[in-house]
C-alpha cells in the first residue's frame, strides 16, 4: 500500500495566510485561531489523531481519524475544532488563512 500523498488545498476564493502553529495533542485541545481566520490546513504528524467539531472532546478511540502524514482542508467553525492523539507523540501542524 502506498504511503500518504501530498494533498493540494483548493478554494474558490483567494486566501491570505495568517499564521502557523504546531500543537502537541496529548489531551483534547483546540486551535489558537488568529483573528479573521476562516480556513485551516491541518496535518497530523507522527501519530494518527482523532478530531471532533461538535462541542464534545474527542478521545483516543472516539472521533474522526486523521492518519499521520495526511491533512485536511477545514472550513468549519475553527473555534469548535478539537483533536487528540491516538498514541504518544501526536502533533498537529496548522496553517491559517483568511479571504484576501
Domains of the chain and any CATH numbers: 22-99 (2.60.120)
Q: What percent of the chain has pLDDT over 90?
A: 86
How far is the CA of 63 from the CAs of 5, 13, 72, 86, 100, in angstroms? 22, 29, 15, 10, 32
Q: CA-to-CA distance for 44 and 59, rounded, in angstroms?
A: 15
Q: How confident is the model at residue 1 (pLDDT cuts 50, 70, 90)?
A: very low
pLDDT grade, residue 9 (50/70/90)? low
d(CA 91, CA 23): 5
Q: Is beta strand 39-45 parallel, antiparallel or unpaired with respect to 91-99?
A: antiparallel
pLDDT digits (tens, 9 = 90+) for 16-65: 999 999 999 999 999 999 999 999 999 999 999 999 999 899 999 999 99
Q: Which residues contact 26 (CB under 8 A, 6 or more apart)?
A: 84, 85, 88, 90
Amino acid at each position: 500500500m502506498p504511503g500518504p500523498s501530498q494533498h493540494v488545498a483548493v478554494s474558490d476564493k483567494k486566501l491570505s495566510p495568517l499564521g502557523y502553529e504546531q500543537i502537541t495533542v496529548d489531551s483534547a485541545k483546540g486551535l489558537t485561531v488568529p483573528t479573521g481566520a476562516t480556513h485551516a490546513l491541518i496535518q497530523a504528524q507522527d501519530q494518527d489523531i482523532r478530531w471532533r467539531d461538535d462541542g464534545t472532546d474527542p478521545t483516543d478511540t472516539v472521533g474522526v481519524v486523521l492518519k499521520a502524514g495526511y491533512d485536511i482542508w477545514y472550513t468549519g467553525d475553527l473555534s469548535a475544532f478539537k483533536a487528540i492523539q491516538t498514541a504518544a507523540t501526536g502533533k498537529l501542524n496548522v496553517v491559517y488563512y483568511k479571504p484576501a
